[in-house]
């Protein structure tokens, strides 16, 4: 999959802090050859997806899947991606579901890395961040 396709799917998750709304299950499907550990505490989910390719360094991408409530003024459903004028609109498109989509693609495509790759995600960055980032 391409990052834009993954991003469009991630936008559809109503992942209002501290809910991931199933987004972690989607990431798990995309990184099926990575091991996964999830930790849930007080409604917050943290997940780490890991793949060891060698004895070298550990490269970890980190991010959050949660978004703040969309507020007023949207011309369309904020949880349905819309392409217009060369831009993609939707809740979390800039912060930070696009970064997660790019990280997933980079991790899935890695072949020659001689260490460990991982993706660390939380559902509580936009909130208090007590049990997440």
In this prediction, residue 1 has a pLDDT band, given cuts at 50, 70 and 90, of confident
Alpha-carbon distances of 45 from 3, 25, 49, 64, 97, rounded to whole Å? 23, 11, 13, 10, 16
Q: How many CB atoms sit inside 10 A of residue 34's CB?
A: 19
Portion of the chain with pLDDT greater than 90, in percent: 94
CA separation for the pair 76, 15 (Å, rounded): 17
Q: How many CB atoms sit inside 10 A of residue 53's CB?
A: 13
Write down the number of H helices and E strands in the chain. 3, 6
**What single-letter DSSP state applies at residue 91?**
T
Q: Which of 20, 66, 124, 126 is catalytic?
A: 66
For residues 1 and 63, which has the higher predicted lDDT (pLDDT)? 63
On the 0-12 / 13-18 / 19+ scale of CB atoms within 10 A, 130 is exposed
Q: Which of 20, 124, 125, 126 is catalytic?
A: 125
Residue-wise pLDDT tens digits, 77-130: 999 999 999 999 999 999 999 999 999 999 999 989 999 999 999 999 999 889
Q: What is the pTM of this model?
A: 0.94
Average pLDDT of span 12-34: 97
User: Residue 101, SS3?
Assistant: helix
Q: For residue 112, indicate whether it is catalytic.
A: no
Options 3.20.20.10, 3.40.630.10, 3.40.50.720, 3.30.70.260; CATH of 3-71+80-122? 3.40.630.10
Q: For residue 66, indicate whether it is catalytic.
A: yes
Q: Return the pLDDT at 80.
A: 98
């Amino acid at each position: 999959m391409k990052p834009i396709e993954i991003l469009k799917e991630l936008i559809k998750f109503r992942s209002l802090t501290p809910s991931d709304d199933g987004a972690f299950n989607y990431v798990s499907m995309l990184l099926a050859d990575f091991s996964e550990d999830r930790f849930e505490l007080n409604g917050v989910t943290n997940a780490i997806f890991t793949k060891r390719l060698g004895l070298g360094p550990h490269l970890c991408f980190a991010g959050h899947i949660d978004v703040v409530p969309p507020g007023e003024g949207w011309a369309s459903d904020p949880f349905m991606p819309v392409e217009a004028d060369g831009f993609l609109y939707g809740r979390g498109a800039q912060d930070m579901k696009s970064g997660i989509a790019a990280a997933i693609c980079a991790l899935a495509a890695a072949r020659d890395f001689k260490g460990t790759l991982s993706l660390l995600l939380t559902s509580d960055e936009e909130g208090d961040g007590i049990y997440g980032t």
